[in-house]
Structure 1
Amino acid sequence: MSVQLFQLLAQLDRPGATELVVATGRQVALRIPSGYQPLTTAAVTLPQLMHLIRDTQLAALVPASEEVGDPVAIDLDGRPLRAQFIRQGSDVLLRIEHRQPPARPSPPPARPAPPSRPTPVPPAALRPPARPTDPAHDHEAAAAHATRPRHTTPPHGSAVAVPQIAVRTSGPTPAPPLRDPARRAPEPADALTLIDEPSTVVPALAGLVADARRMGATDLHLAANRPVLVRTLGDLVTLDPAPRSAADVEALVMPLLGPVRRRQLAERGYVDLGVDVPGGGRLRTNVSRQQGGLKGAFRLAVARPPALAELGLPAAVARVTEHHQGLVVIAGPSGHGKTTTLAALIDLLNRADPIHILTIEDPVEIVHPRQAAVVSQREVGRHTLSFAAALKASLREDPDVIVIGELRDRETVEIALTAAETGHLVLATMSTPSAAKTIDRLIDMFPPDEQSQVRASLGAALKAIVAQRLLPDAQGTGMVAVVELLVGVLALANLIRDNKLFQLPNLMQRGRAFGMLRLDDSLLELVRAGRLAEDVALRAADNKKELAAALHPAPPPPEPARRGLFGRKERE
């Protein structure tokens, strides 16, 4: 269940709240004793409503054609609810109310007859009657296109008034008025309900973060009844050997959460957010419940965008920013520096040209300073509803470069490909181990009947895949990045379109002239340069036998002895 739906359902727990109404073309409204109270300032579109109820029982209840659906008993996150859909053309209305549980358990009764179906109201009766509007507020009336609510209208400048919604009475549920399709509400912003709560960092947590940074750690772990751990050089080591009690951990992490995130933690068992620590930089934070109490996992983001040279990446990686359009994917396992590499590429673009770079991240980890370009950083859950919603809006924001924190689902990939095909350079990350797996994952997100078209689009849009891993260096003092670089040449587009990715290793072997770099070639160069131990390289290699042969070439065979005319050895 989405965070936004969880937030809306939580409103039903307010005293006196009896019904939640989500209707396209109108604001989300909550029924309270005084009338209907708006919960959002913008009207809801049909894609937003479908996104809101995705992966829930509600998604299967949306009528395919005009009808007044029956109230249906459902359970969402343990809440006993009753939901009803009403559809007129492209307009959809969803009503959700509490379903009272039985007073005491009893043997299952005989199966009751299905509830009587309410008589559908003719479409004309579903529309609100026309009425004159106040000229001073004509723009609000046009947006809402409904009668005034029963409660007092907020003063001018506050939230737009909620349309009149019929009050539930006994008997069949009356159909509420839907908006006039001829007068559509303005296209809203992409968010229904966003979280923008301050986080309080207690001094004890700030001290632990500072200690972790002094050790060069990438992650900090706090868990009930466990010592404080940090991740350095890929391994977890102890920062403070004294176990922290459940109360101690709760006192450290709970001040980071506001009321909405605390409810999310109580219902879902986890919450993700970005935190600024005074003197400690940015943290990507996850707070979750586990056996024995709370746990906090903190990713320590770098203080500023790094340069590619600082990361030890090949110079060929920088050339992926020279494209003016297309898709570039930074791939690799989780925790292997994809976000840092992406930030370094953004910094190259930021310093080079006066362009507009739009980033969509979850959360914002590395803040980009003002350089030659304009960098607009949007955070999922705080500034936008989702990656897909922000991508839809981004096409109207005049971006030159669009940066996607992670390609997670089919809708995001679909819009990213569209943006890449329509003149934008799209940079994104994926948690995949190699270039070949990245292509497979992108295609497999779509149903089989669409994959042929996706292959053609991906083959035309893909400009490069940078797949990287972090391995301990030969000195044991840091990590070194091992890179696989796949360049989007015409031969690659043909392999993707014709579903012949099994030929990809041969293409990369032949594609060195185009700047392609195999993982084993990168390992070989690092071992020869003394930056990587041989045994570490062999464990990470795709073809261990070939890499070992390259590291220890066989001595050339001895030259055969020269023989005379009749086969006798010539004398020295």
Structure 2
Amino acid sequence: MKTFTELLRHLSQPGVQELALISGRTPLVKTGNGFESVDDALLTPEGLQEALRGMVGEARVATISEKPSQWAVRLEGQGSLIVGALRRGDVLNVRIVRKEPPPASAPAPTPAPTTPASTPAARPPAPVPAAKAPRGGVQILPTEKPAAAPSPAETIPPPDEPEAEAPPPPRLVVRPESAGNLSMLLEDARAVGASDLHVVASRPPLFRLVGELLPHGEPLSPESVEKMLMPHVPARLRPVLEREGSCDFSLDLGDSGRFRVNISRQRTGYKGCFRLISRDVPTLESLGLPADIAKACHHHQGLIVVTGPSGHGKTSTLAAIIDIINRDTTHHVLTVEDPVEYLHPRKKALLSQREVGTHTKSFASALKGSLREDPDVILVGELRDTETVRMALAASETGHLLVSTMNTPSAAKTIDRLIDLFPPGDQAQVRMTLASSLRLIVSQRLLPSTDGRSLVAAAELLPGSVALGNLIRDNKTFQIPSLQQRGKSLGIVRFDDSLAELVRSGRTTLETARLYAESPDEVEAMVTGKRPGAPPPEAAPDPAKQLLSKMGNLLNRKSA
């Protein structure tokens, strides 16, 4: 009798398309010639269930019914597999198909003798040993119809032929039983690499992958969503949710990780948005951001602002900047966040992380009190209102390095936004403060990578300089783009230059870069070396033709 691992190795043999395991029958493989038996022993429901538990887990096996279930798993030495299962009466039917080739280190499959299937009375049932599967066997797969499983008396039919039409959009293949379990949904979201999970009444759970929202499972009833979300709302925020209709907090679920959570009410019921936070603090290298950002971290005072649209990695960049200070200096770093997302470990610096609503009333009140706490670096999660910006600018002038974020599309517009937050009578003083205290503005966007499976960062850098300070002080911020054009020697990196570098390095495509560029034609010109639509250069004149032309002219003159 072969072990389950030995049966799986048949999928590595040339021509083998599928492994069919049906209780009460011998193991079968499908080739171009149909189904063939690969072992003499009959499969028992108990042995087959035990093998499935090792592959997909106890919770998934418990959900098997007459409706086909399908999972994606990754086994060591076997690669990615698609496992389909259903139960008809006492018969358990399992189909296993390989989705990608096994790793190069996988042992070569041993050829198995092919023997005809035998009747149940000829041999006693034999259990199938379980194979241990790693945790989190979840991935993105193209839409396909689950293969129907036959009964023992039926002949196993070939799978449906794919239609000749355009392929359907991708769908998410995760644990079916996780659709009504928040902890399992969050585990699946982390396993497939999603950035966010949306749980909405009357909609299926939605995973955000590479900027796209992909549904999984059936729509959730308003009652089930409320039952899933409300136990996780902190007691101090339940009156806020009832009064204001939404609340924000961080959630730590142990093995599932940390999450930034927003719970709100909407037309169909409650809605929860869960942003996945890595337990490991990111670095500039891991985020794909320029190393020049680290230079601004060593100023003893001033203002650093990270900008960009919501959901484009500003918080991760802040965490990377604070990690540099934590690693390289002995400063006192005070953070004010709503809520606290990344947990910074103890290194050289002293870190005090405060959460709005838990440890302080507001950003402005925390900043006012922070000046008496002897901080060297102050992190403010977001510059939201005039009072917070006023306190931040004051802190940046009084010997503190202040780091924060804003939701603005570019570096130049960030300066205008900071000034426009104040009434006209105060703007002259704000321009003077910004001109002297601004150290760096990082404006970043995330865009799909070349393979479409991840995101890469394009960043615009505008460091503080005398030239920039003069433009801010003289209210000539409209000339900042011109300064960026000629300011490479000042450490300025334009957004379009960053996009062109991503295309040249193969990390994204030119088509994607054009969608995000401020000047798409200029980005294409930087990548290709010529502007699109430009006429081809004229060919150099042929010397032989020139000589013949001159000879013809001389003959014409003589004949005249």
The TM tier, using the shorter chain, reads 0.5 to 0.7
Q: CA deviation at 1:509?
A: 1.3
Q: CA deviation at 1:507?
A: 0.5
- The residue type equivalent to 1:218 in the other structure is S
Aligned sequence identity (%): 54
SS in 2 for 1:341: helix
**Corresponding residue of 1:99:** none
Q: In the alignment, does 2:189 pair up with 1:220?
A: no
Q: In the alignment, does 2:187 pair up with 1:210?
A: yes
Structure 1 residue corresponding to 2:454, chosen from 471, 478, 499: 478
**Corresponding residue of 2:221:** 245
Q: In the alignment, does 2:506 pair up with 1:530?
A: yes
**Corresponding residue of 1:103:** none
- The residue type equivalent to 1:243 in the other structure is P
Q: In the alignment, does 2:373 pair up with 1:392?
A: no
Q: In the alignment, does 2:273 pair up with 1:271?
A: no
Residue 279 to residue 450, structure 1, CA distance change in 2 (3 Å): same
Q: CA deviation at 1:215?
A: 0.7
Q: CA deviation at 1:568?
A: 5.7
- Alpha-carbon deviations, 1:110-164, whole Å to 9, x = none? xxxxxxxxxxxxxxxxxxxxxxxxxxxxxxxxxxxxxxxxxxxxxxxxxxxxxxx
Distance 1:317 1:323 in 2: 12
- Alpha-carbon deviations, 1:457-501, whole Å to 9, x = none? 111110110000000001112100000000110110111111111
Residue 243 to residue 473, structure 1, CA distance change in 2 (3 Å): same
The within-5 A match list for 1:100-179 is none
- The residue type equivalent to 1:506 in the other structure is S
The within-5 A match list for 1:417-428 is 417-428=393-404
Structure 1 residue corresponding to 2:476, chosen from 500, 506, 526: 500
- The residue type equivalent to 1:205 in the other structure is L
Distance 2:516 2:343 in 1: 32
Distance 2:394 2:496 in 1: 33
Distance 2:283 2:527 in 1: 30
Structure 1 residue corresponding to 2:208, chosen from 231, 234, 248: 231
Distance 1:556 1:328 in 2: 47
**Corresponding residue of 2:319:** 343
Contact 1:206 1:278 in 2 (8 A): no
Distance 1:433 1:263 in 2: 35
**Corresponding residue of 1:511:** 487
Contact 1:387 1:412 in 2 (8 A): yes
- The residue type equivalent to 1:304 in the other structure is D
| Unaligned ranges ≥5, structure 1 | 1-202
Distance 2:453 2:255 in 1: 25
Distance 1:241 1:263 in 2: 32
Relative to the length of structure 1, the TM-score reads 0.62
The within-5 A match list for 1:2-401 is 204-238=181-215, 240-401=216-377
Relative to the length of structure 2, the TM-score reads 0.63
Residue 465 to residue 241, structure 1, CA distance change in 2 (3 Å): same
| Unaligned ranges ≥5, structure 2 | 1-179, 531-535, 552-560
- Alpha-carbon deviations, 1:239-273, whole Å to 9, x = none? x3111111111111111124442222222111111
Distance 1:329 1:493 in 2: 16
Contact 1:327 1:420 in 2 (8 A): yes
Distance 1:489 1:476 in 2: 38
Distance 2:436 2:298 in 1: 17
- The residue type equivalent to 1:426 in the other structure is L
**Corresponding residue of 1:468:** 444
Q: CA deviation at 1:319?
A: 1.7
Distance 2:261 2:381 in 1: 15
Distance 2:298 2:493 in 1: 18
Distance 1:377 1:426 in 2: 14
**Corresponding residue of 1:174:** none
- Alpha-carbon deviations, 1:260-315, whole Å to 9, x = none? 42222222111111111121221111111111211111111111211111111112
Residue 422 to residue 244, structure 1, CA distance change in 2 (3 Å): same
- The residue type equivalent to 1:483 in the other structure is A
- The residue type equivalent to 2:521 in the other structure is K
Distance 1:411 1:525 in 2: 39
**Corresponding residue of 1:62:** none
**Corresponding residue of 2:430:** 454
**Corresponding residue of 1:66:** none
- Alpha-carbon deviations, 1:343-382, whole Å to 9, x = none? 0111111110111111100000000000011111000000
Distance 1:348 1:255 in 2: 37
Distance 2:446 2:364 in 1: 30
Distance 1:314 1:259 in 2: 42
Distance 2:181 2:520 in 1: 47
**Corresponding residue of 1:192:** none
**Corresponding residue of 2:421:** 445
**Corresponding residue of 2:21:** none
- Alpha-carbon deviations, 1:146-190, whole Å to 9, x = none? xxxxxxxxxxxxxxxxxxxxxxxxxxxxxxxxxxxxxxxxxxxxx
Q: CA deviation at 1:505?
A: 1.1
- The residue type equivalent to 1:254 in the other structure is M
Larger Rg: 2
Q: CA deviation at 1:342?
A: 0.6
SS in 1 for 2:481: helix
- Alpha-carbon deviations, 1:417-452, whole Å to 9, x = none? 111111111110011111011111101110011111
Distance 1:515 1:560 in 2: 44
Distance 2:433 2:244 in 1: 37
Distance 2:437 2:448 in 1: 35
- The residue type equivalent to 1:503 in the other structure is Q
Distance 1:313 1:449 in 2: 38
Please provide the CA RMSD for this pair: 2.1
- Alpha-carbon deviations, 1:399-426, whole Å to 9, x = none? 1111110001111111111111111111
**Corresponding residue of 1:115:** none
Contact 1:272 1:287 in 2 (8 A): yes
Distance 1:260 1:364 in 2: 16
- The residue type equivalent to 2:181 in the other structure is A
Q: CA deviation at 1:556?
A: 5.8
Distance 1:357 1:213 in 2: 30
